[in-house]
């Protein structure tokens, strides 16, 4: 359906009778049942009412500070320093009673192992010849050799976990002895 929003002429809309179920009604045919129209002149000066807020000038009550009920006495002048103040900025030395946090060796070792695994994987898949060589090697493994490989990898994980557990136990016992 087309509208006359861009071309407001007094002619009828360009709608066909198949688009609407009732015959087209022109504005001149419609009865006018309106009361007397009120005309507003935009040239006249309008006086603002009590509930109107002007945006041209700021509201004074919003920006002026409220005076306290009891005035406070003026602060005394600060004493003059006899020596310059000591700078205690971001690079100050920590207190001597605190100890450094322990090194988390488990995170370091597992991070190194995962980085080595990722580096080897990237090395293998970065060349089609190496990838083909690994594919041939894996496809020629016998079931016994595949089981032996999985058991060796599981043994490596167990040994690393045991070593990291021993390191953690040594760190905990050392902390208990010192404090």
Rounded-to-integer distance, Cα 49 and Cα 52, Å: 5
Residue 128 lies in a domain: yes
Q: How many domains does the chain have?
A: 1
Residue 83 lies in a domain: no
**Mean pLDDT to the nearest integer, 72-83:** 70
**Looking up tokens 């599981």, which residue turns up?**
154
Q: Which domain holds residue 164?
A: 105-178
Residue 114 lies in a domain: yes
Residue 156 lies in a domain: yes
Q: How far is CA 164 from CA 104, 106, 113, 115, 158, in A?
A: 10, 6, 13, 17, 10
* Residues 6 or more apart whose Cβ sits within 8 Å of residue 99: 178, 179
**Mean pLDDT to the nearest integer, 70-83:** 70
Residue 142 lies in a domain: yes
| pLDDT, tens digit, 9 for 90 and up, residues 113-128 | 999 999 999 999 999 9
Reported confidence tier of residue 157, pLDDT bands at 50, 70, 90: very high
Residue 60 lies in a domain: no
Residue 32 lies in a domain: no
Residue 162 lies in a domain: yes
**Mean pLDDT to the nearest integer, 73-94:** 65
Helices (H) and strands (E) in the chain, counts: 4, 0
Which of 63-67, 98-102, 153-157 has the weakest average pLDDT? 63-67
């Amino acid at each position: 359906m087309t509208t006359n929003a861009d071309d407001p002429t007094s002619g009828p809309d360009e709608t066909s009778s198949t688009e609407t179920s009732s015959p087209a009604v022109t504005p001149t045919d419609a009865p006018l049942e309106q009361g007397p129209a009120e005309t507003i002149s935009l040239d006249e000066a309008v006086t603002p009412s009590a509930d109107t807020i002007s945006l041209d000038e700021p509201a004074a009550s919003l920006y002026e500070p409220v005076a306290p009920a009891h005035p406070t006495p003026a602060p005394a002048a600060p004493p003059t320093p006899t020596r310059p103040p000591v700078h205690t900025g971001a690079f100050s030395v920590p207190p001597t009673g605190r100890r450094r946090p322990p090194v988390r060796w488990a995170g370091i070792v597992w991070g190194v192992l995962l980085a080595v695994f990722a580096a080897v994987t990237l090395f293998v898949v970065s060349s089609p010849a190496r990838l083909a060589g690994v594919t041939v090697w894996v496809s020629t493994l016998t079931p016994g050799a595949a089981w032996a490989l999985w058991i060796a990898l599981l043994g490596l994980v167990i040994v690393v976990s045991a070593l990291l557990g021993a390191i953690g136990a040594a760190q905990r016992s050392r902390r208990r002895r010192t404090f």
